[in-house]
Amino acid sequence: MRNRNEKGVFVKGHLVPSEWREKLSVANKGRDGGVGWSAGLTKETDSRLARMSIAKTGKPSPKKGRPVSDGQKRKQSLAMTGRKQTEEQRQWRRDHPVNYWKGKTIPKVARLKMSASKKESWKDPSYVKKVMEGRHLSPNKAELKLFKILEKMYPGEWKFTGDFSFTINGKCPDFVNCNGQKKVIEFNGTYWHQNDVPGEREGIFAEFGYDTLIIWDTEMKNLDNVKNRIRTFHERNKR
């Protein structure tokens, strides 16, 4: 029989003649696909699924890397239109965002929406507190060195807030004055902040009346200069 081997089994990758496809399409039109045999089963409860899982472990999906035509994309889009995810599915996506998006190309529109949503989340104190508790943040060696300078120059007047204990419009300054001055100090590492937009962070803090001093890690090689900058900044417009 055409497209079958000597055992009568279809050969993988065989081509189905166009007249066969038309007959199958007509025969299946309007039919309810029904429920699959594995609906509601898991590999923990069904030995067949467990064997299938073991057999496929470590093997790439046969569809991986296979190009999808525009026609197939439209069909998939129409097939999914109107479907709603269950609350369990939505919760899984929220709890496992990395696994959900792994290997997928996120559309630009979706990236912008996700970015805007995340920025709004950072304005919520309860969200910031949750993130802070999960990260267990504390001053690193460089920040601790700068904090010791501040404490020696102005005892009790500056507080480390890089642990998200204090935020301004969702942004977390590294140090904030706690003696009546609306001033913050940012300690920037060159590696992490080399692509920052100049003036952007200062502008955000300025909207809420805060003056900002930025000290780069490379400046710590000259502590006298750092102290002079801190002194000038601290005494400027002192209330």
pTM: 0.49
pLDDT at res. 53: 87
In the chain, domain spans: 141-235
Q: What are phi and psi of 83, to 5 degrees?
A: -75, 145
CA 147 to chain centre: 31
pLDDT at res. 132: 61
Looking at residue 188, the DSSP 8-state letter turns out to be: E
pLDDT at res. 230: 95
CA distances from residue 61 to 12, 66, 79 in whole angstroms, order as listed: 15, 10, 22
pLDDT at res. 176: 95
Q: What CATH class has 141-235?
A: alpha beta
Split the chain (239 residues) into runs of 10 and give each run's mean pLDDT: 65 72 80 70 87 85 79 85 82 75 76 79 71 65 92 94 84 90 93 87 93 94 95 83
Q: What are phi and psi of 68, to 5 degrees?
A: -110, 125
